[in-house]
Amino acid sequence: MNQELDNYSSTTPIDDELQGRFKVLRIVAFMRWVTLLAGPGAILIDDYIQPWLLNQGLPSIITMEDLSKYLFLDVLGISRYIDEEQFLAYYHHLNIISCFLFVVFVGWVIIAKKKAVIAARDLALMEEKMRGNI
């Protein structure tokens, strides 16, 4: 009953599958939140909340457009390559693309979550079978 140590592994293919599915779920869920902030969240703040606050007589706060302009043009130094007008044109296109990607990532998270649950159930069933044979 000697096993070669080179071939011994404590993880099973089902366990590796669960780890992979969980990593995919975490990455896609993170990207869903990023696209929510860059797309629908930014549009909501810039086009609806900011004008409403100004109509209520409250002081002007920074918008997502201003924050993005500061981060990309000043902090990252992209102003050497594009000017402010080009950035604003790209910014609005980025908002539209982020809205589309948000919808895609919502669907992808639902599918990835189902696959992760199936992989977890398969792992639990396999472990239960192993305990039953001991």
112, two tokens: 């990835």
Work out the average pLDDT over 35-52. 90
Q: Residue 95: its pLDDT value, please?
A: 93
| pLDDT tier at 1, thresholds 50, 70, 90 | very low
Question: What are the C-alpha distances in Å from 103 to residues 4, 28, 47?
Answer: 49, 12, 20
Return mean pLDDT, the chain: 85
Work out the average pLDDT over 31-41. 93
Helix (H) or strand (E) holding 123: helix 84-132
Distance CA 132, CA 121 (A): 16
- Domain ranges in the chain? 14-128
Distance CA 44, CA 69 (A): 17
CB under 8 Å to 98, separation ≥6 — which residues? 35, 38, 39, 40, 42
Q: Is this structure's pTM higher than 0.85?
A: no
Q: Residue 6: its pLDDT value, please?
A: 54
